[in-house]
């Protein structure tokens, strides 16, 4: 799964991932420990793609309870086209979720607790997770936009830490993923795959990251 990630420089992320986005706010803080149910920076497949902020944790449009969001922070790529919670969004509502790294935890021999590792590109460049988004209307009439990160089997590097990894899209596939037209599994299935391990790196970090309250630069400092 993917349960925490970073976006330490949104200006750079937009320059690398979505240079077509204009009117970028200048007061968006760096995020070192993004956690579920918090707002995340996304590029949805609107007719005119732009930067937006959705809550992390999908609430299907038909759900009667917003609490489901905490259980739907990830969508398994193998079943995303069939699962009732995700299939409509997979067809019609896709997004790029901006990031420059994510965390996974591993229990080392002789240790009583898991050690967090920070995973990023070898180049340290920003990238994008494959995401889905939904619109949910609360009983009070509020419109809430939420998102989830698609996951897949891990590459050889991430497999040392976890049995899943987020789907990281190649730049050449952004246009297809953001196409507002309805898509099928035949159109998109080839994008749901592990990102090449040779282009990625990881290192252990402090257990500071274990608490979402610690949204500080120290969480990505090598331990």
Residues assigned a catalytic role: 2, 104
DSSP-derived secondary structure letter, 138: -
Given a contact cutoff of 8 angstroms between Cβ atoms, the answer to whether 154 and 166 are in contact is no
Given a contact cutoff of 8 angstroms between Cβ atoms, the answer to whether 89 and 134 are in contact is yes
Backbone angles phi, psi at 113, to 5 degrees: -130, 160
Which of 70, 33, 39 shows the shortest CA–CA distance to 52? 39
Task: For residues 223 and 206, give the distance between their C-alpha atoms in angstroms, rounded to a whole number.
Answer: 5
Backbone angles phi, psi at 24, to 5 degrees: -85, 125
Given a contact cutoff of 8 angstroms between Cβ atoms, the answer to whether 88 and 61 are in contact is yes
Task: For residues 91 and 187, give the distance between their C-alpha atoms in angstroms, rounded to a whole number.
Answer: 10
Any idea which residue has 């698609």 for tokens? 150
């Amino acid at each position: 799964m993917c349960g925490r990630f970073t976006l330490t420089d949104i200006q750079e992320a937009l320059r690398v991932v979505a240079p077509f986005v204009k009117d970028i706010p200048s007061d968006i803080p760096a995020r070192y420990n993004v956690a579920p149910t918090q707002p995340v920076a996304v590029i949805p497949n609107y007719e005119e793609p732009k930067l937006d902020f959705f809550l992390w944790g999908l609430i299907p449009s038909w759900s009667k309870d917003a609490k489901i969001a905490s259980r739907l922070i990830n969508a398994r790529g193998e079943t995303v086209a069939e699962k009732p919670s995700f299939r409509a969004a997979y067809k019609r509502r896709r997004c790029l979720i901006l990031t420059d790294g994510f965390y996974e935890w591993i229990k080392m021999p002789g240790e009583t607790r898991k050690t967090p590792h920070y995973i990023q590109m070898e180049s340290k460049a920003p990238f994008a997770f494959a995401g889905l988004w939904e619109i949910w209307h609360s009983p009070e009439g509020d419109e809430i936009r939420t998102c989830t990160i698609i996951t897949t089997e891990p590459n050889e590097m991430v497999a040392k830490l976890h049995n899943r990894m987020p789907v990281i899209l190649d730049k050449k596939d952004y246009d297809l993923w953001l196409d507002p037209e309805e898509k099928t599994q035949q159109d998109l299935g080839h994008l749901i795959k592990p990102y090449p391990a040779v282009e990625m790196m990881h290192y252990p970090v402090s257990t500071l990251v274990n608490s979402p309250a610690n949204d500080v630069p120290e969480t990505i400092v090598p331990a």
